[in-house]
Amino acid sequence: MKIGYRTIKTAIGTPIAIVIAQILGLTNYTSAGILTILTIKPSRKQSVLSAWHRLLACVIASIFSFLFFEFIGYHPIVLAIMFILFIPVTVLLKVTPGIATSSVITLSFYGAGDIPIHFLMEQFLIIIIGIGTGLLVNLYMPGNDRKLKQYQRKLEDNFQIILKEIALYIRDKNTVWDGKELRESEEILQETIVMAEIDRENHLLRSKHTYYDYFNMRNEQLDLLRKMLPLVTKLPNRDEISVKIATFFEELADFVHPENTAIVFLEKLKELKDEFNQEDLPTTYEEFETRANLFRLLHEIENYLIIKKHYKKSDVSLLRPSK
């Protein structure tokens, strides 16, 4: 069984918060540990947002508790009325994740049966200690660059195979391929997009994230590859334009990499489309259907390349083509 970093940080942070609260002589010191547990999240951004939600909700809950319990009374009905009014306020202020945390503070006030100023200050200290410890412990986030890079290479290998298999089918109607790389790529993308999103949230001051953008770009391209598969099955056997399209796919496969020189292939595609448009008009229904499928395929290839073109600034100066 693998123990995750979040579990380890929770195990370290919780007793630290409790010990600090004990050293300061605070009553209900265990609440500091509960607040730490609730603050530790999978990413720094989520942790900061969680801390803000819980801090604001706890402050509001403390004010509500003081007003309701001290001026109306310590009674279950009063507690119920307070929650009926308190929860909509948290919804209005968009701090609903802090409801559970603030409930701990509210029940502490209710259980005390009295809220003198020094007890109120103690609760605020518990809030600061619990949330602050959670934030500090969560500052350490292991990087995923090595793992993401490995997934990137595997994904590019799969894309190369997919493109080459498409070219083989167009040339020879090869039907041996089982489509394993499509399924593998989908699984890789499902995992890496989540990983890259968490990694992006760990960089609070950076809006762009190379891997996050990269895997989302590949995810869009994979959808287009799926759309192309039924279209290539409808191309004519050994037709001149079909052979040129097969060659085009082979070139794409040979240069699958993170760099962006899609503009080179867009220019080649434009030449293919020009040749296609210069052919004689179809005279039969079969020829018309073939022409329509070919046009749709070229359109999907163009979209595939445009997605890569918009991925990042062009690397055309590298003087090597890329899909």
Q: Where are the domains of the chain?
A: 5-137, 145-318
Distance between terminal CA atoms of the chain?
41
Q: Give the number of residues written for the chain.
A: 323
Residue 190 has pLDDT above 70, yes or no: yes
Predicted confidence (pLDDT) per residue in 125-160, tens digit: 988 999 899 888 887 777 778 888 999 999 999 999
Structure tokens at 136: 């500090």
Which CATH code for domain 145-318?
Answer: 1.20.120.940
Residue 69 has pLDDT above 80, yes or no: yes
- The values of phi and psi at residue 238, to 5°, are 55, 25
Asked which of 55-69, 99-113, 157-171 is least confident by mean pLDDT, the reply is 99-113
Helix axes 117-137, 99-112, angle to 10 degrees: 150
Cα–Cα dist 124/31, whole Å: 11
Average pLDDT rounded to a whole number, residues 265-289: 77
How crowded is the C-beta side of 105, counted as CA atoms within 13 Å?
32
Residues 235, 170 contacting (CB under 8 angstroms): yes
Task: Of 209, 204, 248, give the one whose Cα is nearest residue 228.
Answer: 248
Burial 167-197 (b: 16+ CB within 10 A, else e): bbbbbeeeeeeeeebbebbeebbeebbebbb
Average pLDDT rounded to a whole number, residues 82-90: 92
H helices within the chain, ranges in order? Answer: 5-23, 30-39, 44-71, 76-92, 99-112, 117-137, 145-172, 180-201, 210-232, 240-254, 262-278, 285-309
Predicted confidence (pLDDT) per residue in 90-123, tens digit: 999 988 888 887 887 888 888 888 888 888 888 8
Between the CA of residue 274 and those of 278, 279, 298, what are the distances in Å?
6, 9, 11
- The pLDDT of residue 321: 47
Predicted confidence (pLDDT) per residue in 191-202, tens digit: 999 888 887 777
Average pLDDT rounded to a whole number, residues 163-172: 86
Read off the pLDDT band of 163 (50, 70, 90).
very high
Read off the pLDDT band of 237 (50, 70, 90).
low
Asked which of 172-176, 197-201, 221-225, 243-247 is least confident by mean pLDDT, the reply is 172-176
* Claim: this prediction has a pTM higher than 0.95: no
Burial of 19 (0-12, 13-18, 19+ CB in 10 A): middle
Predicted confidence (pLDDT) per residue in 17-30, tens digit: 999 999 998 887 88
Cα–Cα dist 15/180, whole Å: 48
Average pLDDT rounded to a whole number, residues 244-265: 83
What does pLDDT average to over the chain? 84
Cα–Cα dist 306/189, whole Å: 20
